[in-house]
Amino acid sequence: MEIQDVSQALANKIASSYISGEDEAASFFDYPKIQNEETYKKRLEELSNRQFPRQELVDYLLEFHKNFDASDKTISNIKRMLDPKSVVVIGGQQAGLLTGPLYSIHKIISIIKFAKEQEELLNVPVLPVFWVAGEDHDFAEINHTYVLHNGRVEKRAIKQKHFKKSPASKVIIDQNKAEDWIKEIIGTFGETIYTNDILNHLYDDLRKSSTYVDFFINIVFRLFKDHGLIIVDSGDAGFRKIGSPFMETIIRNNSKLGEKVLCGQLTLKELGYGQPIEMNEHNAHLFLIHDGERILLERFKTQFVGKNKECHFEHTALLELNHNQPELFSNNVATRPLMQEYVFPTLAFISGPGEIAYWAALKKAFHLFGFKVPPVIPRLMISILDRKTEKYVKELGLDIAKVVNSGCQNEREDWLKKQQPFPIEQMTEETITQILNAHRPFKELAIQVDPHLKDLAEKNAELIQSQIYYLKQKMEKSIRFQHKVELDKFDHINHFIKPLNAPQERIWNIFYYINLYGYQIIDEMLDLNYQWNNQHKVITI
């Protein structure tokens, strides 16, 4: 397994500017010099002067991890959190089926690698923590994966229907439908020496799971069993209880919080960085479970109202509800980072490009509560180059950096044009010109005979043109068929490096590669020496 760095442009302007180290973007963060070792020493010193609910957190995590096949190393890491010098490297994602898109795996790898490196540099316990967004309620974002079927990239969703806006932690997984879906998805990958073991392991993880979050966590612990990863489910009642005191603080200071978040958003917008969070001066940045659904709250003076008027609470009533039933409350994209900062001694946050954008709006919100924005580390962005794809890239003489950034559709078309000894395009245009010139007097004659025939005469000319184009298409199809073997190679590269014209890591799932190369691919990826230089990593297997 080898690794190659390539440059990749990001569509997200603020993320791109931050990663490039531009001063303007850096001003939105407290620790922008993420390449400097002194940054983490300063952050460590800052954290040493703060208090965290360590004992409560450790007690909860030890109990929570009893529900899963967590390794001894994970349990040991949880206990190490009692050390007042210990800190965490943390990042999170939604609980996608089969772990979701590859970027979830890349984020976990980033967390584990960065934590290990910082522990060696700082000589204090640095623990890897993955935050599963079990509080999120958009089932459509986690209920599917993509497969290649008949030469097309297709989305395959589980057939379980779910219409309520329930947190993922509360959505019970339909065992039969999930088993059928797993069999269907793995079946599209083709049978290898690893396929039966994968199916048996996934069925086993499924049987041990009640919810989609359980299923996600069981799989993650299987994939990363030897690396001491700690997992937290933000939608779990026990975790919500730990965060209850800070939730009270958020409720009490909600008006000021709203002002700070809005101010950050307006500044970003004025500087041309867009609007990462929905701008709404009444947004309370909190969700509440009401009648089994997750409802966004809005604030009107001392009243909190469901966005669609589903519920209504006075300020004091909401505080009392948080005290008695903290599991009913959850955070949005603005308050989730704040809750994370309250609960965990966060040395660094591992972030995706989109997260960088909305964290940039939160600096003043962090300061409101006496926090600083932790060092925000862009996660490793990775493309996996399997052996077949690598072979085709070499055979066709393609530049892998260009393929990662843009695919190879243009190169495909250029190659095809070079294979055509026939002047099809030229002859088509010349033929149409000649026919239209010959047809024009005929059309004019028809109009002289009967002006009402004008539309019909023009339609007649269009039909003749369409027949010429039809023959042209047939000739081009015949040429493509003659060169199908080579064209299929271009298509294969596009499908697996730039599927649906998107980065590989946003579409494909890790189990496609596990099916090819076995579970050891995870450990091999973790063994690689990554440079935190904000370059895209191409891993050749």
Structural domain count, the chain: 3
User: Is residue 44 one of the residues assigned to a domain?
Assistant: no
SS3 state of residue 465: helix
Average pLDDT (315-341) is 96
Residue 406 in any domain: the answer is yes
What tens digit of pLDDT does each residue of 335-356 get? 999 999 999 999 999 999 989 9
CA distance 226 to 426: 63
**Do residue 399 and residue 457 come from a single domain?**
yes
Domain boundary among 242, 273, 292: 242
Residues 90, 138, single domain; the answer is: yes
Each residue of 148-206: pLDDT tens digit? 999 999 999 999 987 788 889 999 999 999 999 999 999 999 999 999 999 999 999 99
Structural domain including 502 reads: 388-516
Quick check: is 522 in a domain?
no
Q: How far apart are the first and last CA of the chain?
A: 4
Q: What is the 3-state secondary structure (H, E, C) of 38-104?
A: HHHHHHHHHHHCCCCCHHHHHHHHHHHHCCCCCCHHHHHHHHHCCCCCCEEEEEEECCCHHHCCHHH
Residue 528 confidence (pLDDT): 97
Note the pLDDT of residue 399.
96
- Find the DSSP H helices in 146-298: 175-188, 195-207, 212-223, 237-242, 244-252, 254-270
Pairing of strands 87-93, 346-351: parallel
Whether residue 117 is found in the same domain as residue 83: yes
Of the candidates 190, 116, 99, the one whose C-alpha atom is nearest the C-alpha of residue 149 is 190
Tell me the pLDDT tens digit for each residue of 286-300. 999 999 899 999 999
| 352 Cβ contact partners less than 8 Å away, ≥ 6 residues apart | 103, 107, 378, 379
pLDDT of residue 425: 87
Residues 308, 201 share a domain: no
425-462 pLDDT per residue, tens? 899 999 999 999 999 999 999 999 999 999 999 999 99
Angle at 163 between CA 161 and CA 169, to 5 degrees: 85
> Does some domain include residue 206?
yes
Buried b (16+ CB within 10 A) or exposed e, 208-245: ebebbbbbbbbbbbbbbbebbbbbbbbbbebbbebbbe
Nearest 5°: CA angle at 313, between 308 and 315?
A: 130
Residue 420 has pLDDT above 80, yes or no: no
Residue 128, phi then psi, degrees to nearest 5: -85, 125
Residues 6 or more apart whose Cβ sits within 8 Å of residue 482: none
Mean pLDDT computed over 493-507: 97
* Spatial contact of 111 and 90, defined as CB atoms under 8 Å apart: yes
Q: Quick one: 302 and 257 in the same domain?
A: yes
Interatomic CA distance for residues 11 and 270, integer angstroms: 18
Could you tell me the pTM of the whole model? 0.93
Beta-carbon contacts of 243 under 8 Å, excluding residues fewer than 6 positions away, are 326, 339, 342, 343
Mean pLDDT (the chain) is 95
The structure tokens listed for 190 are 């083709």
Tokens of 290: 């009401």
Q: How many C-beta atoms surround the C-beta of residue 452 within 10 A?
A: 9
What's residue 93's pLDDT? 96
Reported as a single tens digit per residue, the pLDDT across 48-97 is: 999 999 999 999 999 999 999 999 999 999 999 999 999 999 999 999 99
Q: How many Å apart are CA 529 and CA 43, to the nearest integer?
A: 25
pLDDT of residue 275: 84
Per-residue pLDDT, 279: 78
Q: Are residues 212 and 262 in the same domain?
A: no
Residue 94 lies in a domain: yes
User: What whole-number distance in Å separates Cα of residue 84 and Cα of residue 54?
Assistant: 8
CA atoms of 494 and 406, how far apart (whole Å): 9
368 and 323: one domain?
A: yes
Among residues 184, 212, 242, the one where a domain terminates is 242
The CA distances from residue 278 to 99, 358, 361, 362, 506, in Å, are 28, 10, 11, 13, 23
Which pLDDT value is given to residue 277? 81
Last residue of a domain, one of 189, 207, 242: 242
Report residue 54: phi and psi, to 5°.
Answer: -60, -50
pLDDT at 11: 79
Please check whether residue 42 lies inside any domain of the structure. Answer: no
Residues 88, 222 within the same domain = yes
Find tokens 């970027």 and name the residue: 103
Shared domain check, 395 and 269: no
Question: What values do phi and psi take at 145, rounded to 5?
Answer: -145, 180
Tokens of 512: 């496609």
Q: What is the pLDDT of residues 106-158, one digit of tens each?
A: 999 999 999 999 999 999 999 999 999 998 888 999 999 999 999 999 999 99
If asked whether residues 193 and 338 sit together in one domain, one would say no
Residue 38 is assigned to a structural domain of this protein = no
**Are 216 and 303 found together in one domain?**
no
Residues 272 and 223 in one domain: no
Residue 525 lies in a domain: no
